[in-house]
Amino acid sequence: MLSVHINPANGFLQPPGDGWYKCCLPTDCSDPSTNIIFANIFNFAQIESFTVADLPSDMTIYPQEYKLNCVKVGYPVYDIRVNIDNTALASYTNCDDNSNLCSGIELVDSINTIRYTVNITWDGVTVSSGSISQSTTGDQMYQCVVQVSDQPTRSRSVTVKVPSASPSSLTEVNKTATTITVNWTTLNSSDADGYVVNVTSDSDTVPAVQVKGNSNNRITLNGLRGGTTYSITVRAYQQLLGPASSTTRVFTHCQEEDIYLTYNGNCYPNGSYFWDSRVNAVTEAISCVSPDTSLTTGQWIRVADPDDLVDCNSNSASDPFRCTNVTSPDATLNLYLAQGLPASQEGWYKCCLPTDCSDPNTNIIFANIFRFSEIESFTVVDLFSDMTVYPQEYKLNCIKIGHYQYGISMRIGSTALVDYTNCDDQNSNCPGTILASSTNTVSYTVTITWDGTTVSSGLISQSTTGDQMYQCLLDNPSGGDDRTRILTIKVPSTAPSSLTVVNKTATTITVCWTALDSSDADGYVVNVTSDTDTVQTVQVEGSSNNTITLNGLRELTTYSITIRAYQQLLGPASSTIRVFTHCQYENIYLAYNGNCFPNGSYFWDNRVNSVADSISCVLPGTSLTTGQWVRVNDLDDPVDCNDNDPFNCTEVTSPDASISIYLSTNQTLPEDQEGFYKCCLPTDCTTATNIIFAKIFRYAEIESFSAANLPSDMTVYPQEYKLNCVKIGYYQYNISFKTGNTPLASYINCDDRNDSTSCPGTVIDNNMYTIKYTVNITWDGVTVSSGSISQSATGDQMYQCKVEVTDQLTRTRNIDIKVPATAPSSLTEVNKTVTTITVSWTALDSSDADGYVVNVTSDTDTVQTVQVEGSSNNVITLNGLRVEATYSITIRAYQQLLGPASSTISVQTLPVNNSINWTLISSITQLNNTQYRIDCLTTTDINPSTDVYWSVNGVIKSNSMYTSIDVLTYSNTLLVYPDPLGVSVNVTCIAMIGGVNYSKFVILQVPSGPPNSVKVFILGATSIRVNWTNSSEANGYVIEYTTGGVTRNVVSTSEDEIVLTNLSSMSTYTISVYSFINLPSVNSTVTVLKFDGESLSLTECNWYVF
């Protein structure tokens, strides 16, 4: 090691010694094998380093940003600046590192090492930092200068390498619809490390591409769009980017192969239109291109005269066109006008590439070159693919291109849907949408609604059948031909015929039809309605498909079904068929007037007196053989369908066996023949397995009498339900309800034809005059009540509904509500815990009860009501009760309603803490070592290790000692000591259940103070008497006496004095007296000195009362 330092005698390094030093070890510097290291020892201040940081590695990000870092070391007072050429990018004067760091960052405090940073932005032309900028070309040379007053100026320079020139000869090498390949002349390796190619277009952003390596001079740009003009430049880079090359513009192919048209930097499809006044210069030529082919004999020809070739070298009136061409790499013919286009030569032209049009293998494309204005297209848009949406809407679009003055209209037949005259695109006075202003391309739109019969647009409408033919008419100014384009929308002219039901079920109908020819239909739409509502509309694709099953229908519903054919639009509807679905999938059912009826339904004779009003008995999927209707009261009297007896019949043999009966018009049913009839299918009633009943009656009947809304939750009390009596038939009547002899409701002179009557029935069916009457019933366990009427009841409740028609039979129906007559007996407590009570009872017979309801109350509040299902269940545990609370419990049986309550039992839940006690388990004479045991009894419903804890004078202690006494009780134990003496001990046992704490406590008491007036009397050489008075209640006293701090004796007494014997003569004793209740108090102390045991004299006696 070799160390060097400044001679203290000289103070500072003198100027001649300022500069670089080298150290050579282990030999001197003349030894070429020695080790050498350098150090700069300077006077005042120096620039430790001047560097460039954060130079970009990704050269595609532009502009470019980096940093200059100049690190000053040494003397704390100085000026510093950073320059490029003569322009200061940053300059700081009067910097003082002790108080003013300028904008530097301190690196080393001891030697005043400060770093200054300048942020640089380079945009390819200008270096800028903040608001200061300097134009520059090529390498960028920066200087950092540090100046200390009256001292040499320090400076350091750094150079950032930047190409001074751009690559030359940027050239397109190849292109496709999505790629362009370019190359360029590279720079010398000393002038470039690589290149960045930048690609832009008006509507497309392409990421710049970095090409590493100065000798790489070619790249293929991918992911481009077809038919787009891209601007391409290239820059060289070293540490930064150099200047951009001149721009090369490249138009990508419109497609990868075949032939295409371009114009004015855009691709055009086959059959495009070009206005003659916009293709009249070489820069506005129509280009015809065949990618990747070489031009040989390609040509443009006027379609109207195949012998009239475009002569690219002529400029006569007969051939006004000029051409330019490109032979390779893509055969191209550019066509433009050198003069006005004669009227005789406007129209379609075709381009053939790479050979002439006589070559059958050449590529051909067409273009229309026109004078004035033309109709570029006339199309229909927004035609529905979903033919189930009706009416149908679509749009007609007519696009005009060319001269800005014109008239335009759209028609169907002779009816104008729109008509715009004197249009001037320069003023936009007609409601078209401009698509291209350079060629005055304007779109006009008409919205059409088709309802199957009429075409309408706004207020204009036109009836039509079959295909719809529209015209777009363009009126050119004088000198120009008018233009017409025709558009036809395919619409079937006729409907499918022979729409027929093939099969049906309760929820499906299958239909078929005669299909149209494939030229007249693409498919069909089947429409299904019920009454006035559309149920479903189903599209059937394919002209030959002629059958469909309609699903998801309702049973016994009449549906109207039509069918239409469609092409682009829907054609006319077929005639309607009406189909009635089955009431159910199988088995026998009744139907009447388009509705299903269940077994045992009622029918008024006045409403079944025509064939249209017949009662139908149907058996789906069977064939009728000997089926019949028979009167139930006389099974030997079947309905004779061949005789008016008084019923008539109609029969359907298949596919569904059916017999319908009805009375003749104006005929009533004889009184002796009203009643229930049964229908047997498909055979007669002697062998039939499918039978259904219907009651056919005269005047009025009670269709049903039932209880509704009977409670399933028997815990809700009182109980409410409804009686519903449904009257059917004759419209004039009286109706009443009663229970026993007590009327609940009565309505007289009811007339169903008159809404103003006071009879509050609800109409169910106007045709049959079916009216429902309702009575609301409340049952409180003792009394049935409805409104202000009440009736005491026990056991089952019997109700009657009666309907009376003058001079006719009175109709009555009865209903019984099952109610237990007695309460369960012997309600008994079985078990209980702190939060539960288990009870049992003597169950009723299953015919007298469906279950039970147990009601629990506390004070006057209902705590819980529990439903026990099943007549044989006779035990329940009531949960969630309060700790140590008294509950009243009753039980009721229930069937449809609740029966009477049992007698009440009263049960109290167990406490969480049953008791707390203390026991002295060591002698009180042990004073502060006296041990007490606290015992706390808690329920086994809680965990003693986690749910029980102790509080001793506010200090919480865990519970670790516990034992099980029995199945209901834990004994929890805590040992405590009187420490310190004289302080009562409050011990609380805390048990937690359900988040609630329950506690019991015990207090171990101490006297309010120690004994007073302690006196000592020497009785002899070895005995003394001690007495005292006590200022508070005490249960006894403890006397402690010691001698020499060695011997300690403790005795107790319940008296207020004590004689101490067997003492040592000539010894000094300290005597302490404690009183105690449960715990000892603090002590009162005296000291006794004995001199002469024989003389029995007291030479010294001191006492102290505490």
Contact residues for 417 (Cβ-Cβ < 8 A; gap 6+): 396, 409, 410, 411, 446, 448, 457, 460, 470
Torsion region of 850: left, alpha or beta (phi above 0 gives left; psi -120 to 50 gives alpha): alpha
CB 842 within 8 A of CB 826: yes
* Residue 270 and residue 298 in one domain: yes
The predicted pLDDT at position 58 comes to 93
Structure tokens at 685: 């009633």
Decide if pLDDT at 27 tops 80: yes
Structure tokens at 146: 């540090």
* Residue 298 and residue 356 in one domain: yes
* Residue 342 and residue 408 in one domain: no
* Residue 746 and residue 678 in one domain: no
Domain final residue, candidates 761, 789, 817? 817
* 809 alpha carbon, distance to own chain's centre: 66
Burial string for 888-898 (b: 16+ CB within 10 Å, else e) reads bbbbbbbbbbb
**Residue 1009: which pLDDT band, with cuts at 50, 70 and 90?**
confident
Decide if pLDDT at 9 tops 80: no
CATH of residue 764's domain is 2.60.40
With respect to residue 1, please indicate whether it lies within any of the assigned structural domains.
no
The residue range of the domain holding 1041 is 1012-1104
**Residue 1016: which pLDDT band, with cuts at 50, 70 and 90?**
confident
What average pLDDT score do residues 322-330 get?
Answer: 87
pLDDT in tens, 652-685: 888 888 999 999 888 889 999 999 999 999 999 8
What average pLDDT score do residues 782-807 get?
Answer: 95
The predicted pLDDT at position 1098 comes to 36
**Which residue is associated with the tokens 């003394």?**
1024
The strand pairing partners of 265, in sequence order, are none
Domain final residue, candidates 141, 159, 177? 159
Decide if pLDDT at 1046 tops 70: no
The predicted pLDDT at position 1103 comes to 36
DSSP string, 620-689: TT---SS-EEEETT-TT-B--TTS-SSEEEEEE-SSSEEEEEEEPTT----GGG-EEEEEEESS-TTT-S
Decide if pLDDT at 753 tops 70: yes
The predicted pLDDT at position 1100 comes to 35
- How many angstroms separate the CA atoms of 972 and 965, rounded? 10
Q: Write the secondary structure of 393-414 as one string of H (helix), E (strand) and C (coil).
A: EEEEEEEEEECCEEEEEEEECC
With respect to residue 17, please indicate whether it lies within any of the assigned structural domains.
no
* Sign of the four-CA dihedral 946, 952, 953, 956: negative
Residue 731 to residues 753, 764, 767: CA-CA distances in angstroms?
Answer: 7, 13, 11
* Residue 95 and residue 193 in one domain: no
Q: Cis (ω within 30 of 0) for the bond into 207?
A: no
* Residue 603 and residue 642 in one domain: yes
* Residue 356 and residue 281 in one domain: yes
What average pLDDT score do residues 949-964 get?
Answer: 92
With respect to residue 197, please indicate whether it lies within any of the assigned structural domains.
yes
* Residue 134 and residue 172 in one domain: no
DSSP string, 270-336: TTEEEEGGGS-SGGGPEEEEETT---SS-EEEETT-TT-B--TT--BTTB-EEEEEE-SSSEEEEEE
Residue 294 to residues 270, 309, 354: CA-CA distances in angstroms?
Answer: 21, 20, 6
CATH of residue 227's domain is 2.60.40.10
* Residue 899 and residue 936 in one domain: no
Task: Name the residue among 232, 221, 246, 231 with its Cα closest to residue 168.
Answer: 246
**Residue 115: which pLDDT band, with cuts at 50, 70 and 90?**
very high
CB 63 within 8 A of CB 124: yes
With respect to residue 443, please indicate whether it lies within any of the assigned structural domains.
yes
The predicted pLDDT at position 137 comes to 92
pLDDT in tens, 846-894: 999 999 999 999 886 778 999 999 999 999 999 988 888 999 999 999 9
With respect to residue 339, please indicate whether it lies within any of the assigned structural domains.
yes
* Residue 653 and residue 691 in one domain: yes
Structure tokens at 1098: 């007291």
The predicted pLDDT at position 548 comes to 96
Comparison of pLDDT for 1101 and 355, the residue scoring more: 355
- How many angstroms separate the CA atoms of 1081 and 984, rounded? 9
pLDDT in tens, 242-286: 999 999 988 888 877 789 999 988 888 999 999 999 999 999 999
CB atoms within 10 A of CB 546: 18
* Residue 135 and residue 186 in one domain: no
* Residue 384 and residue 485 in one domain: yes
With respect to residue 516, please indicate whether it lies within any of the assigned structural domains.
yes
* 1026 alpha carbon, distance to own chain's centre: 91
* Nearest-5° Cα angle at 359, 285 to 257: 55
Residue 481 burial (C-beta neighbours within 10 Å; 0-12, 13-18, 19+): middle
CB atoms within 10 A of CB 751: 13
With respect to residue 292, please indicate whether it lies within any of the assigned structural domains.
yes
Number of domains in the chain: 10
With respect to residue 387, please indicate whether it lies within any of the assigned structural domains.
yes
What average pLDDT score do residues 759-779 get?
Answer: 94
CB atoms within 10 A of CB 737: 23
Domain final residue, candidates 1004, 1027, 1054? 1004
Q: What are phi and psi of 684, to 5 degrees?
A: -75, 175
Q: What is the mean pLDDT of the chain?
A: 89
- How many angstroms separate the CA atoms of 665 and 668, rounded? 9
pLDDT in tens, 427-482: 888 999 999 999 999 999 999 999 999 999 998 999 999 999 999 999 998 778 89
Residue 701 burial (C-beta neighbours within 10 Å; 0-12, 13-18, 19+): buried
Comparison of pLDDT for 167 and 1031, the residue scoring more: 167
What average pLDDT score do residues 181-188 get?
Answer: 94
